[in-house]
Amino acid sequence: MSMRNPSTYPSSDPIRLEVYKHLLSAIAEEMGAILRKASFSPNIKERRDYSCAIFDAQGNMIAQAAHIPVHLGSMPLSVKSAIAKFNTHGEHLFSGDTVILNDPYLGGTHLPDITLVTPVFLNVSELSISSTNNALPIAFVASRAHHADIGGMTPGSMPIAREIFQEGLIIPPVKLVVAGNLNQDVLDIILSNVRTPEERAGDLKAQIGANKRGADRLIELFLRYGQDDVSRYMQELLSYTERMTRRLISGLPNGKFSFSDTLDNNGITNSEIIIKVTITINGATALVDFTGSAIQQESSVNAVYAITLSAVNYVFRSMIGLDVPNNSGCLLPVQIIAPKGTIVNASFPAPVAAGNVETSQRIVDVLLGALAQACPDRVPAASQGTMNNVSIGGWDPERNQFFTYYETIGGGMGASSSENGVSAIHSHMTNTLNTPIEALEFAYPLQVNQYSIRKQSGGKGIHNGGDGIIREIKFLTDAQVTVLTERRSTSPYGLAGGESGKMGENRLTHNSKDIVLPGKGSFLVAKGDVLSIQTPGGGGFGKRDD
C-alpha cells in the first residue's frame, strides 16, 4: 500500500496517533519478551523484574511496555545521564554502542537495577562512523532489570547499609558495547564483583539482545514511515498525555490537600520517619510538595529523587483512568518539590537499596491519601505498602557454587468505593509476578513449605481490603538472609471509615523455636530452618453498620 507524503498528515490526526501509540509500545513489549526468554535468572525470567521503553532524541520517554512503575518513571533520568556523559565529556555515541549504568544518583533506583541505553541512528551505512562524525541519535531504547546480585556486603545486594558503597558495585555511564562488540574489560570488572558471575553475564547479554531488537524495530519504523512523521508523532504522544493529565487535574477541586504517614523504622534505629506531602491544585496544574518529610536516614531506606519522581508519575497516570500512553508528558503539568537531603531526595553517599522498594510504596500511600481528600470516590484505601523483600544467598553444595535468590512477595490491595481489594497481588510501584514454587526449588537449595492466602488480613469495610500472603521457605543449606519489609508496626490505612489492613509478620523457626523477626535485618540461618513471611492486607473502604 502506498503512503501519502508525511507533510500532508495533520499534526494531530487521532487515528495515526493511536497507531503510533501501539506501534511504539509494541516495540517495547517485544524487547521485554526477548529479555525474558534470553535471561538466566528466575528473578527476570519468572518474576519479570524488568522494564523496557522507547525514548526520543532528548531522552524523553515516549512509550513503554506494561512493566514496573518504579523503573519506568525514573528511566528518563538515566537515559538523560547517558546522553549528558557522551555529550559533555568529549565522547560520542555511535551506531552499535550500548551504555550501562546503575548509579542511583544519575537516574537509577538502587544498585541491583542495571540500565542499558542504546542510541538509534538512521541510515547508518551512509554515515562515516568516526570521532569526527556529527550524526546524532534520532531516538534511544533502554532496558532496566533487577539483577539478583551486584556485590556488596550481603548476598542479593539489599543490605542494611550505612553508605551506598556497602550496597554493591556502582556503575557510572560507560559503554558495555562498542560498535556492536562487547566491551569485555567492562564486563570483567562487573563479573569480578558479584557472587553469581555466570548468571549476571547471561542477564546482561539478554538485555543487550533486547536493546538491539528495540533499535532494529525503531529503524524499521523510521524507514517505513519517514523520520519526520515518526518524530512528529513522538512529540504528539507527549502532548496528548500532557493534555489528558491537565484534564485530570482540572477536574479536581482547587485547594491544598495534605497527608502524612510513617515508615516503621530504618532498620538500625526505631526513630519515627515521616513522609509528608501537600498537593496544591490550581486549575490545570499541580504542585506536589514533600516539605516536612524526615531527613535522610543512616540506613538504606532513603529514596533518591528518581524514585519520588516515579511515584508521582505513577499516581497521576493511574488517576487519569484512560488508555493514555505512560510517557514523560504526564509530569509536564506537575511541579515537584522534594527537599535535598531528605528521605524523598537523598544526597550521596546515602544508601538507597530499600528506598526503591519500600519507601516508594509509602510515597504512593501519602500521595493517594492526599488526593483522597480531593476526590474520595476515586482513590482506594492503602494497599499493603511494602514489597516484602527477601534475599537469600550462600553456598549450594549440590551445584558446588554460590547462589543468590531475591524475591518480592505480594499482599492485599486496598478496597475502593466500588469493590473489594484484590488478594495476594503485587500493587503500586511493583508489577512483578511471583517465583513459581517449581522454578524456585529447581534453581536453589530451598523448599517451599507453604504458599497461601493469609485469610482475614484485609481491613473490613463496606468493601473489604484484599488479603495478604503466607510464604514459608525451608533452607536446605546454611545461608544468609536479608529481609526488607514494611507495615510490621504500622497498618495500611482504610478510607471513609474502613478498617486498616492487618500488619505483616516475619518469623523464623530455628531448633523448633518460633522467633519473631524484625521488619528489616540480615541474619544467618541453618539447614532445616524455616522462614515465614506473612504479608499485610489492604485497607477497607467505608464504614459497616454491623
Quick one: which of 167, 215, 207 has its CA closest to 187? 207
Structural domain includes residue 470? yes
Mean of pLDDT values over 430-435 = 86
- Answer with the one of 189, 213, 242 that is the final residue of a domain: 242
251-288 confidence digits (pLDDT tens)? 999 999 999 999 999 999 988 899 999 999 999 999 99
Contacts of 444 (CB under 8 A, 6+ apart): 392, 396, 403, 405
Structural domain includes residue 331? no
Structural domain includes residue 76? yes
**pLDDT band at 88, cuts 50/70/90?**
low
C-alpha cell at 317: 497516570
Does residue 238 sit in the same domain as residue 387? no
HSE-up of residue 126 (Cα within 13 Å, Cβ side)? 3
Whether residue 134 is predicted with pLDDT greater than 70 in this model: the reply is no
pTM of the model: 0.93
Mean of pLDDT values over 317-332 = 88
C-alpha cell at 307: 524514585
Please give the pLDDT value at position 291: 98
Contacts of 21 (CB under 8 A, 6+ apart): 63, 237, 325
Integer-rounded Cα Rg, in Å, for the chain is 23
181 in helix, strand or coil? Answer: strand
184-243 confidence digits (pLDDT tens)? 999 999 999 999 999 999 999 999 999 999 999 999 999 999 999 999 999 999 999 999
Contacts of 318 (CB under 8 A, 6+ apart): none
Distance CA 120, CA 124 (A): 9
Distance CA 463, CA 373 (A): 19
* Packed helices 75-88 and 305-320: angle between N→C axes, nearest 10 degrees: 130
Quick one: which of 122, 144, 135 has its CA closest to 211? 144
CA geometry: angle at 187 spanning 184 and 189, to 5°?
110
407 in helix, strand or coil? Answer: strand
* Spacing of C-alpha 362 from chain mean position: 14
Distance CA 466, CA 143 (A): 32
390-419 confidence digits (pLDDT tens)? 999 999 999 999 999 999 999 999 999 999
Please give the pLDDT value at position 349: 97
- Answer with the one of 194, 214, 242 that is the final residue of a domain: 242
Distance CA 94, CA 471 (A): 48
Distance CA 380, CA 367 (A): 11
Q: How many CB atoms within 10 Å of residue 26?
A: 14
**pLDDT band at 97, cuts 50/70/90?**
very high
Structural domain includes residue 96? yes
Range of the domain at 230: 6-242
Whether residue 128 is predicted with pLDDT greater than 80 in this model: the reply is no
Question: Which phi-psi region, left, alpha or beta, contains residue 512 (left: φ > 0; alpha: ψ -120 to 50)?
Answer: left
Please give the pLDDT value at position 446: 98
Question: Which phi-psi region, left, alpha or beta, contains residue 262 (left: φ > 0; alpha: ψ -120 to 50)?
Answer: beta
Contacts of 280 (CB under 8 A, 6+ apart): 255, 256, 257, 286, 287, 289
Distance CA 515, CA 475 (A): 16
Distance CA 410, CA 417 (A): 22
Report the number of distinct structural domains present in the chain.
2
HSE-up of residue 90 (Cα within 13 Å, Cβ side)? 0
* Spacing of C-alpha 129 from chain mean position: 35
Please give the pLDDT value at position 126: 39
Question: Which phi-psi region, left, alpha or beta, contains residue 385 (left: φ > 0; alpha: ψ -120 to 50)?
Answer: left
- Answer with the one of 207, 223, 242 that is the final residue of a domain: 242
DSSP states along 469-508: EEEEEEESS-EEEEEE---SSS-PPPBTTPPPPPPPEEEE
Per-chain mean pLDDT for the chain: 93
Quick one: which of 318, 228, 335, 326 has its CA closest to 280? 335
Please give the pLDDT value at position 365: 97
CA geometry: angle at 370 spanning 366 and 376, to 5°?
120
Answer yes or no: are the C-beta atoms of 268 and 521 closer than 8 Å: no
Beta strands in 25-138 (DSSP E): 50-56, 61-64, 98-101, 113-120
Amino acid found at 52: C
Distance CA 409, CA 389 (A): 7
Whether residue 2 is predicted with pLDDT greater than 90 in this model: the reply is no
Contacts of 47 (CB under 8 A, 6+ apart): 407, 408, 432, 433, 434, 435
Structural domain includes residue 235? yes
Q: Where are the alpha helices (DSSP H) in 329-435?
A: 353-354, 360-374
Answer yes or no: are the C-beta atoms of 423 and 412 closer than 8 Å: yes
User: Pairing mode, if any, of strands 174-178 and 446-454?
Assistant: unpaired
HSE-up of residue 242 (Cα within 13 Å, Cβ side)? 14
Mean of pLDDT values over 120-146 = 71
